[in-house]
Amino acid sequence: MGYQVTVKKIGRLSVFDIKGEASSVAARVLPTSLPLPVTVNTASTKEGQKLCWVSEKQWLLIAPSSQESHLLDDLVPNDPALDCRVVLVSDSYAFFAIIGKQADDVLSIASPLDIRIKKFGENGAAYSDLFGIRALVLRRPDGYVVAVEISYAVMISACFDKVIRGRA
């Protein structure tokens, strides 16, 4: 039994790990015009950028790689006036899109995350496990985007292939 799902690796994205109090983070990301998400494990989106609130004092800003140098300047990561740390971690992540009408089924096999829409809404963004590896999971209209540490990309891709073909 196979699944009607496509899993494909997404090209490089810019990722900034931001840690600090919400007020400092809001000031730090002000140049992007992205509002802070209102609830943990959700994301706000604007013009291709996504600000994910992934733990009490941690956010991830994800954007197209073409915006990386501009964001580096805008976020002013070394400004001591803001008690907030910004670290560029783009090279640490590999991203995959899980797309199709059975995307929920495939992700449910790969991850213990409760992805029911009432628990993991349209703007859902959370860390979970993916085949036993820590992963970021983001909901999208036609499925999900997941990100894992780049050293696990080949293994995660192979695991998805097995699941999709019904051999897991």
CB 33 within 8 A of CB 130: no
CATH superfamily, region 6-10+92-164: Probable tRNA modification gtpase trme; domain 1 (3.30.1360.120)
CATH superfamily, region 13-91: Heterotetrameric sarcosine oxidase (3.30.70.1520)
Query: Tokens standing for 24?
Result: 């400092």
Render pLDDT for 6-20 as a digit per residue (tens, 0 to 9): 999 999 999 999 999
Mean pLDDT of 78-99: 90
With a pLDDT cut of 70, the percent of the chain lying above it is 96
Domain residue ranges in the chain: 6-10+92-164, 13-91
* 78 pLDDT higher than 90: no
Q: Where does the pLDDT of residue 82 fall: very low under 50, low under 70, confident under 90, or very high at 90 and above? A: confident
Q: How far is CA 125 from CA 55, 70, 108, 111, 164, in A?
A: 10, 24, 15, 14, 23
- What does the DSSP 8-state code read for residue 51? E
Where b means 16+ CB within 10 Å and e means fewer, 53-79 reads: bbeeebbbbbbeeebbeebeeebebee
Say if pTM beats, i.e. exceeds, 0.95.
no
Render pLDDT for 50-76 as a digit per residue (tens, 0 to 9): 999 999 999 999 999 999 999 999 887
**Where is 105: in which H helix or E strand?**
helix 103-110
Q: How far is CA 147 from CA 47, 64, 117, 136, 157, in A?
A: 20, 14, 20, 5, 11
* pLDDT the model gives residue 130: 97
* pLDDT the model gives residue 81: 73
